[in-house]
Amino acid sequence: MSGFFITATDTEVGKTVVAGALAGVFRELGYNIGVYKPLQSGHVASNPEGDAARLKVLSGVPTKEDEICPYSIEEPLAPRLAMKRAGRAVTLKDIIHHYNERLKEFNSLLVEGAGGLAVPYTEDALVIDFAKELQLPLIVVARPTLGTVNHTVLTIAYAKAHGLTVAGVILSGCKECEMERVQENKVMIEELSGVPVLGLLPFLEGEFTKEEVLEAAKEYIMISKLEEFIRNESTVAHTSSN
């Protein structure tokens, strides 16, 4: 299996836009790649303002929203708490099952977690436990400005301590007037973590189209570096199956 696990240093840092954009770009390049966000709080999967709908639009996958996100709840809380308050029980085994179902449709998946790696996720697991089960390389989406060095370096250290590979960092929401500070943060993150910053995705104002997001991803994210991971993983999987 191949793909990426998309995590973040916090909520509302652009994780869904990055995941959808990367999937859309890879699909344009000819990869049979899908998207999967097993748990969503704040919107039900069918809500056009929710993450599942955004992932579907940006990626261009034929998958239905409730298959992209099989477990969703309206209340905007950590998934474990939101599900508990709604009287629903979701386990790590449940979301792994749906992951395997999606792999029947796609060769690779971009999997989006919820918030950061230590978020209480299913009733028996944190987000990082899910990431460890999949063993996909991580992409860490982070804010570009004040505080991001600490948050990003800690996230990477936590992931590495659990044996996970971090493919790179994408700083999302970069404004032109802040680029000097953003570049300084990029350098510090790379020096302190040993992980490359693969993209400085610009801040997109107002309502933006799929085309605008994908063009920004192509211009500002090092797609070729991420493509190497997919190619290498696919080669390993093919060799292992022979």
> pLDDT by residue (tens digit) across 60-103?
999 999 999 999 988 889 999 999 999 999 999 999 999 999 99
Alpha-carbon span 219 to 216, nearest angstrom: 5
Residue owning tokens 């998946």:
109
236 appears as a binding residue in the annotation? no
Q: What is the pTM of this model?
A: 0.94
16 appears as a binding residue in the annotation? yes
Catalytic residue, candidates 37, 56, 132, 186: 37
pLDDT for the residue numbered 2: 87
Q: Which tokens belong to 192?
A: 């302190």
Task: Express as a percent the part of the chain with pLDDT over 90.
Answer: 84
pLDDT for the residue numbered 227: 94
pLDDT for the residue numbered 1: 58
Q: Which tokens belong to 58?
A: 């940006």
Of 34-43, 187-196, 229-238, the least confident: 229-238
In degrees to the nearest 10, what's the CA dihedral of 214, 105, 64, 115?
-60
113 appears as a binding residue in the annotation? yes
Of 120-124, 191-195, 224-228, 234-238, the least confident: 234-238
Residue 241 predicted with pLDDT over 60: no
Residue 114 predicted with pLDDT over 70: yes
137 appears as a binding residue in the annotation? no
204 appears as a binding residue in the annotation? yes
Alpha-carbon span 114 to 217, nearest angstrom: 21
- The kind and range of the H/E element at 25 are helix 15-28
Range of the domain at 213: 2-241
Q: Residue range 141-168: average pLDDT?
A: 98
147 appears as a binding residue in the annotation? no
pLDDT for the residue numbered 43: 80
The SS3 assignment for 4 reads strand
pLDDT for the residue numbered 234: 55
Residue 239 predicted with pLDDT over 70: no
Q: Tell me whether residue 84 is one of the annotated catalytic residues.
A: no
Residue 110 predicted with pLDDT over 90: yes
Tell me, what CATH number does 71's domain have?
3.40.50.300
Residue 135 predicted with pLDDT over 60: yes
pLDDT per position as a tens digit, 13-57: 999 999 999 999 999 999 999 999 999 988 887 788 889 999 999
Of 134, 133, 143, 126, the residue nearest 197 (C-alpha): 143
114 appears as a binding residue in the annotation? yes
Provide the domain count of the chain.
Answer: 1
pLDDT for the residue numbered 238: 36
Q: Across the strands, what pairs with 6?
A: 112, 139
34 appears as a binding residue in the annotation? no
pLDDT for the residue numbered 25: 98
What integer best gives the mean pLDDT of the chain?
Answer: 93
